[in-house]
Amino acid sequence: MTTPLSVLDLSPISTGSDARQALRNTIDLARRAEAWGYRRYWIAEHHFVAVASSSPTELIALIAANTETIRVGSAAVQAGYRTSAALVEAFGTIDALYPGRLDLGLGRSAQRIAQLRSAGKPPAEKLRTTQVRDGVVIPPPFPPTALRDTTRLTATLEALRPPGAEPLDYARQIEEIRALLAGTYTSSEGIELHAVPGEGARVELWLFGSSGGESAQLAGRLGLPFVANYHVSPGTVLETVEAYRTAFRPSARYPKPYLVVSADVVVAADEPTARHLASTYGHWVAGIRSGAGAPEYLDPDTAPPLTDDQRELAEDRLATQFVGAPDTVATGLEALQRLTGADELVVTSVTHRHEDRLTSHHLLAREWGLTRARAA
């Protein structure tokens, strides 16, 4: 395969473990991913749940310090919780020490959470049935309003922002970040301000999205690279990709669209082992979608079976997780790449034991034919 592979990591916390160990596991996996030939190592941002990636800029700096060549970045920083200047200065600081290796991925989660506070009730019926397109499962979209309880999201929003503050308009914040990086920023009073460090930093700007809405269209209009989140919202991936490509306007850095598509994988030496390791994924997704947030990742040896309610919450994610032996998972990822026309794939793999997560990424790298994986 010639399509590059990258890694997305949430620093998950397993039952019986803690955040300290999860962070050590992240550093270990990043070093190995570099050795195995993955192109990028991206960190997600989540708060007040059982994942240790709540402070992505600091974690990105630690990963950069413990690796040499792999690109490191955010997937994605929740832009609405920070000012544009704070983001540019933080990434500029890291770039000053590890130049040319950073990806500043931005998402509009904070803005979406604010919208959820006033969202209506979920629709009574799904809009369509599951389809299989060229070997890729496209389930009905999971509506954000189907979250069982949004009170925790509201509490998170309140805890992460000063009282009374509201997220900056997303398009405006992207404009500010680009101006600060380029050295063309001017305040509302006409005062030129220069981010030190930050201005001129060799930081690559990315947008992430799970629908054909603002993020996809904005990335296209600005000629930026874009990530479509199949692993989060598989039912909307095709409309997301189409919206990005339709809106795309060439830029100096990107004369044509550059698309990355995400996927959730668990790879093991054989199918039964992989299925067993992935058997608590549904519990994890259901915990997120219940509104309680990501729980500790359960041990498949002791976890109870999924309840009907949990399965209903997680069914689209269960149907679209790539699980199996290396050749099976690689075949599925190839189909996803062909269907979406992705220039690159980013994979996330969550298992209870760190050793199994290492094995999953290593077996996939070797099956995919990553250059350094062949020599490992």
pLDDT in tens, 207-240: 999 999 999 999 999 999 999 999 999 999 999 9
Residue 161's pLDDT is: 85
Q: Is residue 336 predicted with pLDDT exceeding 80? A: yes
Average pLDDT, the chain: 92
Residue 93's pLDDT is: 98
Residue 122's pLDDT is: 44
30: nearest Cα among 374, 367, 354, 366: 354
Pairwise CA distance, residues 191 & 303, whole Å: 59
Residue 150's pLDDT is: 82
- Whether residue 355 contacts residue 277, with contact meaning beta carbons closer than 8 Å, is answered with no
Query: H or E stretch including 74?
Result: strand 71-74
Q: How confident is the model at residue 157 (pLDDT cuts 50, 70, 90)?
A: confident
CA dihedral 163, 86, 175, 44 (to 10 degrees): -90
Q: Is residue 121 predicted with pLDDT exceeding 70? A: no
Residue 151's pLDDT is: 87
Q: How far is CA 341 from the centre of its chain?
A: 19
Joined together, the tokens standing for residue 88 give 């540019």
13: nearest Cα among 293, 304, 210: 293
| Lowest mean pLDDT across 79-83, 88-92, 284-288, 358-362 | 79-83
Helix 151-160 vs helix 109-116: crossing angle, to nearest 10: 130
219: nearest Cα among 234, 208, 230: 208
Q: How confident is the model at residue 153 (pLDDT cuts 50, 70, 90)?
A: confident
Q: Is residue 112 predicted with pLDDT exceeding 70? A: no
- Whether residue 339 contacts residue 134, with contact meaning beta carbons closer than 8 Å, is answered with yes
Residue 282's pLDDT is: 97
Pairwise CA distance, residues 310 & 293, whole Å: 14
Going along the chain from its start, the domains and CATH numbers come out as 5-375 (3.20.20.30)
Pairwise CA distance, residues 63 & 41, whole Å: 9
Residue 117's pLDDT is: 46
Q: Taking the complete model, does pTM exceed 0.75, yes or no? A: yes
55: nearest Cα among 137, 153, 152, 160: 160
For range 251-268, the mean pLDDT: 98
Say whether 9 sits in a helix, a strand or coil. strand
For range 272-277, the mean pLDDT: 98
Residue 374's pLDDT is: 47
Pairwise CA distance, residues 29 & 27, whole Å: 6
| Lowest mean pLDDT across 6-10, 222-226, 371-375 | 371-375
pLDDT digits (tens, 9 = 90+) for 15-71: 999 999 999 999 999 999 999 999 999 999 999 999 999 999 999 999 999 999 999
